[in-house]
Amino acid sequence: MQFIYILTPFIAWVVAGGLKFLINSVKAKELAWKQMGYGGLPSTHTTIVTAGAAMVALREGVESSAFLVALTLAFIVVIDAMDLRRKIGKQAAAINKLAEKTDLPELREKMGHSPVEIGAGVVTGTLCAFAIDLVTKL
């Protein structure tokens, strides 16, 4: 296995996290340290799996079995990021409302991603893979 398949998702993770931090900092008009790991644009999960799948497509082809596996994993992660995690966030909000008068710690409510955040993750991951593929072929 080539090292590029490990390196690409890692670089995509760094890029997505950096973009998310910059976007959240601009919105908050201060460094957004407290918002790290709380969803946002782009979806880091989507960026990582898209970058991996795109690199497999670029290096192995879209007809390869490796791409099919990578694409399947990407679909599972995207569905989880957009649907399941959003439902968990709604449950957390309901539990927080029920537990307002207790001393229980508040549950995190912002869990899932919107379709726009998922789309931004797909674009970011794909661009990362194309850029890394281009640079490594120079």
Q: What is the pLDDT of residues 61-107, one digit of tens each?
A: 999 999 999 999 999 999 988 888 778 888 888 898 888 878 888 88
Amino acid at position 94, single letter: A
Average pLDDT over residues 23-46: 83
pTM: 0.84
| 37-41, 58-62, 65-69, 124-128: segment of lowest average pLDDT | 37-41
Give the gyration radius of the chain's Cα atoms.
17
Higher pLDDT, 85 or 30: 30
Do 92 and 98 touch, CB atoms closer than 8 A? no
Given a cut of 80, whether residue 116 has pLDDT beyond it is yes
Do 12 and 128 touch, CB atoms closer than 8 A? yes
Average pLDDT over residues 44-71: 96
d(CA 111, CA 40): 9
Given a cut of 70, whether residue 1 has pLDDT beyond it is no
Q: What share of the chain is helix, strand, coil (3-state, %, to 5)?
A: 75, 0, 25
The most confident of the ranges 9-13, 21-25, 77-81 is 9-13
pLDDT of residue 64: 96
Average pLDDT over residues 30-51: 84
